[in-house]
Chain A
Amino acid sequence: MRIIVHNAKCQGHARCSAQAPSIFTLDDEGYVLRGDINVAQGDELLASRAVRSCPERALEVDSSSAARFDPAAIQPKAGEA
């Protein structure tokens, strides 16, 4: 799975790295590093959780790669976007 990082939207909430420190690295000011992220197979659930904890919606699962991933594992709860 690939995660698209919209750096212009990142405001340094650090929620992603709090959820998944091994996947999301922050710079010295606390903003996520530039560049999209390739997630290792076993880390996909953790990564998707981190994506959905970003208050600015700066992270996005690349849907072309998400298609290869079992969506049942990240099914949103009712009422959530």
Chain B
Amino acid sequence: MAINPVPDHVPPEMVRDFSLFTSPGMPPTPNGDPHAAVACAHDGPPIFYSPYNTQDGRGTWVITRAADQRKVLQDTETFSSHRSIFSSVLGETWPTIPLELDPPAHGAFRSLLSPLLSPKRVTALEPAVRERAITLIDGITASGTSCDVMKDFAFPFTVGIFLRFLGLPDQGLDTFVGWAKDLLHGNDVERPVAARKIVAFIDELANNRRKDPVDDLMTFIVQAQVEGRRLTDDEIRGIGVLVFVAGLDTVAAAIGFDLAYLARNIKDQELLRSEPDRIVLATEELLRAYPPIQLIRVATKDIDFEGAPIRKGDYVSCATMIANRDPEEFESPNTVDLAREHNRHAAFGYGPHRCLGSHLARREIVIGLEEWLARLPTFRIKEGTAPITCGGHVFGIENLILDWS
């Protein structure tokens, strides 16, 4: 592991050898449990400095407590989202939108998009989501007693819904999933190549929709107005790229981790199968236990935050998987309790950037689990196979071979 120089203002005793990228359990690991692995962050001080904690190898402060993460993420004046995570892969600086804009500019774009993903809208999408789940599962059960959940269900289910939302044909599915995988988990050569493909694809899509409008998200964006004007090309690209990346593999990863948990915990599996009314609450607990995302902010000024001398320009990491295992916020945080109440988990972030897709993501997970449990008998991880998990900016699970013979 490359050890970066620690900045002078960081007291040596606040530095910890911890990284969401390189610590044990973070690189691809058969039968790994990366979420449990990072829970060890709570064994030390509530805030520390990790010298190597982003995809491009930068150091960050690590905020472990849920209450402190809430403070950081709600205080957008001190902790900015403008850090060009995507475009910096290309050596550029345009923001993805609304993710990397700060208020007040953030608000206008957020309001533009949020009706498209509101709870009401998602309720209207529900029949199509359920139909897609049923079709896929019926295909799986008709062709045998084993499958790779990721390849045969999680990705085709979630990415299919999402492509329909974007107005894109299903045929692109494998290509898009491949780009997302390279972007999120690829090496220094694969990442920029994938990023460039995604940008070129979004630019071309925007051009096509300008010429031939249809009823889809990209047409809506190229025709939309904020503050009485049309969007610029960079803004259109920033929105298109974000929506594309945000929905591509997050929900699939969540479903993968959830079904892996149920395959290993047969009692819980049977409980949800025999009492499906519990699935809505159980989904919140699974989102708490297995959230995929690390959030990064950049300090806009010097601040002493809960004892940490954070200086302007420092990166601050709010990893949802760490907040969700905070013993001060959750009783027995490392125990999965599918009936947990008052579950204020951080899976979708806190503050004004709270995941716009959260209502859709929740419905997809609930419907996926409902139909999967209703249509399959007891399933386990197939003997001789091991799901490979990984940490990083977005936690993932590569394969999940289930068997119900």
Interface residues of A (CB under 8 A from B): 9, 11-15, 17-18, 26, 28-30, 49, 52-57, 76-81
**Complex partner residue of A30 from B114, B342, B343, B352, CB under 8 angstroms:** B114
Are B344 and A30 touching (Cβ within 8 A)? no
Complex Cα distance, B343 from A57, in Å, reads: 12
Q: A9-B74, A11-B354, A79-B331 are in contact. Are A28 and B345 (CB under 8 A)?
A: no
The 5 closest A-B pairs by CB, nearest first: A79-B331, A11-B354, A29-B114, A52-B342, A30-B118
Q: A13-B358, A14-B359, A77-B331 are in contact. Are A55 and B119 (CB under 8 A)?
A: no
Q: Is B330 on the interface with A (CB-CB < 8 A)? A: yes
**Complex partner residue of B118 from A29, A57, A80, CB under 8 angstroms:** A29
Q: Which residues of B contact A29 (CB under 8 A)?
A: 111, 114-115, 118
Interface residues of B (CB under 8 A from A): 70, 74, 111, 114-115, 118-120, 280, 327-332, 341-346, 348, 350-352, 354, 358-359
The minimal Cβ–Cβ distance linking A47 to chain B, given in whole angstroms, is 13
The minimal Cβ–Cβ distance linking A19 to chain B, given in whole angstroms, is 9
Q: Which residues of B contact A77 (CB under 8 A)?
A: 331, 341-342
Interface centre among A29, A49, A57, A79 (most CB of B within 10 A): A29
Are A49 and B350 touching (Cβ within 8 A)? no
Are A13 and B348 touching (Cβ within 8 A)? yes
Complex Cα distance, B298 from A39, in Å, reads: 41
Q: A55-B344, A55-B346 are in contact. Are A11 and B114 (CB under 8 A)?
A: no
Are B351 and A11 touching (Cβ within 8 A)? yes
Q: Which residues of A contact B111 (CB under 8 A)?
A: 29
Are B358 and A28 touching (Cβ within 8 A)? no
Listed by A's residue number, 18 A-B pairs whose Cβ atoms lie within 8 Å are: A11-B354, A14-B358, A18-B280, A26-B119, A30-B119, A49-B341, A55-B70, A55-B344, A55-B348, A55-B350, A56-B70, A56-B74, A56-B351, A57-B344, A77-B331, A77-B341, A77-B342, A79-B332
Complex Cα distance, B122 from A12, in Å, reads: 14
Q: Which residues of A contact B354 (CB under 8 A)?
A: 11-13, 55-56
Complex Cα distance, B287 from A81, in Å, reads: 20
Are B350 and A56 touching (Cβ within 8 A)? yes
Residue of B nearest to A27 (CB): B118
Residue of A nearest to B331 (CB): A79
Are B118 and A28 touching (Cβ within 8 A)? yes
Residue of A nearest to B351 (CB): A11
Complex Cα distance, B114 from A79, in Å, reads: 35
Q: Which residues of B contact A57 (CB under 8 A)?
A: 70, 344
Are B344 and A14 touching (Cβ within 8 A)? no
Q: Which residues of B contact A53 (CB under 8 A)?
A: 341-344
The minimal Cβ–Cβ distance linking B363 to chain A, given in whole angstroms, is 11
Complex Cα distance, B345 from A79, in Å, reads: 15
Complex Cα distance, B343 from A79, in Å, reads: 12
Q: Which residues of A contact B352 (CB under 8 A)?
A: 11
Q: A13-B358, A26-B119, A30-B359 are in contact. Are A54 and B114 (CB under 8 A)?
A: no
Q: Which residues of B contact A56 (CB under 8 A)?
A: 70, 74, 350-351, 354
Residue of B nearest to A77 (CB): B331
Q: Which residues of B contact A80 (CB under 8 A)?
A: 329-331, 342
Residue of B nearest to A48 (CB): B342
Q: A26-B119, A56-B74 are in contact. Are A12 and B342 (CB under 8 A)?
A: no
Q: Which residues of A contact B119 (CB under 8 A)?
A: 14, 17, 26, 30
Beyond A12-B114, A52-B344, A53-B344, 16 extra complex contacts between A and B, CB < 8 Å: A13-B348, A14-B359, A15-B344, A28-B118, A29-B111, A29-B118, A30-B114, A30-B120, A30-B359, A49-B341, A52-B342, A55-B346, A57-B70, A76-B342, A79-B327, A79-B332
Are A11 and B350 touching (Cβ within 8 A)? yes
Q: Which residues of A contact B345 (CB under 8 A)?
A: 55
The minimal Cβ–Cβ distance linking B121 to chain A, given in whole angstroms, is 9
